[in-house]
Chains A and B, each alone.
Chain A
């Protein structure tokens, strides 16, 4: 009996999750290290930036400031303090707005999430669909056309596309509303998630919902274009690899109908690499928001980053880096979990 209980080890999935979680946490620490190092790399004197020139000229004030900010401590100690602050949600103060960076980011967050999620869902269906189609029609005309389309999608500079779409569809044609998440005349729905689309649905405000969706279309499509290019390409190669596998031939040899073979066998196997790419694509999307939100006056993290970047608001920039880094790492962790759900080789011994 003792032998049996001694052999009852940790189930492989739990072990897998545990390892991934550990790595995730380690990476998050790494991220804070990176932002901390970069903050201290700054040639500009933080004192001057924070206090202004006149105050910085007075040695007493400077000394006091440095002591207050802990700038006279050795670096490792500063890092620990920094880490402590981050863990408590203090990301410093913006040199532009004088507001806590954490609060500003929290306010801006839902807008970007709404945009990114809309874009990724849209591009996932189209991208994976096109990639699958192209792979099934390998080397035929459809494949070539889809390849070219995806290459073109990957070549558009996102910020330029944002402008072009804005110009054509709003400025010239007036099909879609130009800026912001809602019409100026429309009141935002009661705040539950911060996502206007979801919140308005939850509150039953159909008019608001449609307005929000209308405003989402342009920026989400712009963001989606690059991602579609990416996903199509990766989905295509993932599926091509799977098509070579014996189990596809065997599935056909069993007399299974083509649709079952395509979706139940081929796509299922290709899902693992495809999900990896979806995670990466989301990272790409987050990057893209920086370039796109400004054009559409979308008050999200992207717009915030853009402003911070152009004005060199370092605490804000670092805050963005930290938060986006955390979100991205967290997302990749979720992707890892998803593997376990899909691929039994991961989850079962």
Chain B
């Protein structure tokens, strides 16, 4: 007769979607993300002017003609903000996907095979973690040459370890589960075992991490652009626009609106990510490092 219920983690055949996602927080976040994705997709149709055209009177405050005013060389700020979404969003989402793949793979390999491979990968991760995020990204971008591509490369280098660490610890604990051992005993090869048995349990937390990370990536990218290390003018990147606004301080609209854009997008992803995390497991261990501002 039993008594103590043995904990049997079922082998997950599919990745289950989180239940009860319908909190106001999540809905707000999803709506905002949707809004910006639409803006990004339909930018040429929505923007009143060419973002690069220095066609208008300079430093005009917001008015009926120029809802967000014009900047110091006469470009329409609204159009630039709209087009800016075409840089920040795809790059950040792409970056997160790449980090997830690279970091996740490395972490899974480290966790599954252990020993020397594990050591090497984890020491590399430690090395990245030895620096505060923006500083390292700044240093790498500066060394490689300040442009958008190098900024993204720098961000990738800075981001993969977090995923590696999370994946690794999840893999290590999943690997010891009974069904995995059983699978190996039945003759499954290492990679098959990894893919079929271990990975499905690992993907959910990593996915939550990724969602929260998009916001961080956007902040990092715009931060680098703000420093002049990412997008170079005249590209309408939000961070670079805010930097432009620093000089023209009394023309507050030049920096205000791009900043607001960054804020709303990041907030949207944070809302979604946090709701996901909460509905999946309120006590999920946050293995993520404190990230960039």
Contact = CB atoms under 8 A, between A and B. Distances in A.
Interface of A: 27, 30-31, 34-35, 38-39, 41-44, 144, 147-148, 151-152, 154-160, 163-164, 167, 171, 226, 230, 233-234, 237, 240-241, 244, 277, 280-281, 283-284, 286-288, 290-291, 294-295, 305-306, 309-310, 312, 314, 317-318, 320-321, 324-325, 328-329
A36 B263 CA distance: 36
Contacts, number: 164
Interface stretch (B13-21, B94-102, B124-132): B124-132
Contacts of A167: 249, 252
Contacts of B283: 237, 240-241, 244
Contacts of A318: 139, 143
A60 to B, nearest CB: 29
Interface string B224-256: 001111000000000100110110011010011
B271 interface: yes
Contact of A38 (B143, B252, B291): B143
A151 B274 contact: yes
Nearest to A306: B227
A34 B127 contact: yes
B293 A284 contact: yes
Given A157-B219, A160-B263, A321 B131 contact: yes
Nearest to B293: A158
B262 interface: yes
Nearest to B226: A159
Contacts of A148: 25
Contacts of B146: 312
A314 B255 contact: no
Nearest to B270: A151
A163 B245 contact: yes
Given A291-B227, A328-B130, 11 more contacts: A27-B130, A43-B144, A155-B267, A157-B222, A163-B242, A163-B259, A167-B249, A241-B285, A284-B290, A286-B135, A309-B142
Nearest to A38: B143
A157 B130 contact: no
A157 B250 CA distance: 20
Interface of B: 25, 123, 126-127, 130-136, 138-140, 142-146, 215, 219, 222-223, 226-229, 239, 242-243, 245-246, 249-250, 252, 255-256, 259, 262-263, 266-267, 270-271, 274, 282-286, 289-293
9 contacts: A30-B123, A30-B130, A38-B140, A155-B267, A158-B293, A160-B242, A163-B246, A291-B293, A309-B228
A287 B263 contact: no
B127 A27 contact: yes
A202 B290 CA distance: 35
A157 B290 contact: no
User: B interface, by DSSP: helix, strand, loop or mixed?
Assistant: helix
Contact of A321 (B139, B226, B249, B255): B139
A328 B138 contact: no
B139 A160 contact: no
A233 B212 CA distance: 13
A148 B23 CA distance: 12
Contact of B291 (A34, A152, A171, A284): A284
A34 B138 CA distance: 13
Given A41-B143, A160-B263, A171-B249, A288 B293 contact: yes
B293 A31 contact: no
Given A159-B242, A290-B134, A291-B134, A152 B144 contact: no
Give the residue among A35, A154, A294 with the most B Cβ atoms within 10 A: A154
Nearest to A168: B252
Contacts of A226: 293
A156 B130 contact: no
Contacts of A158: 219, 223, 293
A291 B219 CA distance: 11
A234 B139 contact: no
A294 B246 contact: yes
Nearest to A324: B135
A157 B246 CA distance: 14
B134 to A, nearest CB: 4
Nearest to B143: A38
B270 A154 contact: yes
A286 B138 CA distance: 13
A206 B292 CA distance: 36
Nearest to A152: B267
A186 B130 CA distance: 39
Give the residue among A233, A240, A291, A318 with the most B Cβ atoms within 10 A: A291
A321 B262 contact: no
B169 to A, nearest CB: 14
Contact of A39 (B143, B215, B271): B143
B223 A324 contact: no
Nearest to A294: B246
Contacts of B243: 159
A27 B229 CA distance: 26
Give the residue among B134, B144, B256 with the most A Cβ atoms within 10 A: B134
